[in-house]
């Protein structure tokens, strides 16, 4: 793997990457001020549209630093089963009746999940994952 890293950091790629590091060094983000500054750099890069290889490598590294800080300081709880099902239904443009018809999941079960009274069962997760064409892990966050 070290060979791939060395290969990626040659010539113009290396120069572009190092120029960005000189302007905004890649160090741990330790405060909200650091976070805001990092987000501004990311926004400027993203506004450019197509990035060079060096810019992409830098943006990936900076994004990882931002994500690590946000995960520690601003964790986001997984969506409830009701919220997840509601989102998937809206995205696919189906209502409860259509979901029942297509999946054979009882109408009362769908209503109870949407009302937050019932959680997904393992069988429901498999059925819904196939129906909505998502990984089972998307629906199993609360198990």
Q: How far apart are CA 43 and CA 37, in angstroms?
A: 10
* pLDDT surpassing 50 at residue 1: no
Q: How far apart are CA 49 and CA 64, in angstroms?
A: 20
Q: How many CB atoms lie within 10 A of CB 82?
A: 17
Asked whether 15 and 54 are in contact (CB, 8 A), the reply is yes
* Domain locations along the chain: 2-73, 81-139
At residue 4, the pLDDT reads: 52
At residue 102, the pLDDT reads: 97
* pLDDT surpassing 70 at residue 6: no
At residue 116, the pLDDT reads: 94
Q: In the structure, what pLDDT confidence band is assigned to residue 3 with cuts at 50, 70 and 90?
A: very low
pTM (2 d.p.)? 0.60
64-77 per-position pLDDT tens digit: 999 999 999 999 88
At residue 8, the pLDDT reads: 65
4-8: long-range pairs with CB below 8 Å, 24+:
8/53, 8/57
- CATH fold of 81-139, please? 434 Repressor (Amino-terminal Domain) (1.10.260)
**Does an H or E element contain 15, and which?**
helix 11-23
């Amino acid at each position: 793997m070290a060979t791939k890293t060395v290969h990626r950091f040659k010539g113009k790629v290396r120069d572009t990457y190092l120029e960005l590091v000189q302007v905004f060094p890649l160090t741990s983000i330790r405060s909200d001020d650091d976070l805001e500054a990092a987000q501004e750099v990311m926004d400027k890069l993203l506004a450019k549209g197509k990035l060079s290889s060096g810019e992409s490598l830098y943006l990936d590294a900076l994004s990882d630093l931002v994500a690590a800080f946000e995960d520690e300081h601003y964790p986001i709880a997984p969506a409830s089963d009701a919220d997840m099902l509601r989102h998937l239904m809206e995205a696919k443009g189906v209502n409860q009746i259509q979901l029942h018809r297509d999946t054979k999941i009882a109408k009362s079960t769908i209503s109870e999940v949407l009302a937050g009274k019932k959680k997904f069962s393992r069988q429901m997760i498999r059925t819904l994952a196939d129906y909505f064409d998502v990984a089972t892990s998307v629906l199993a966050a609360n198990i």
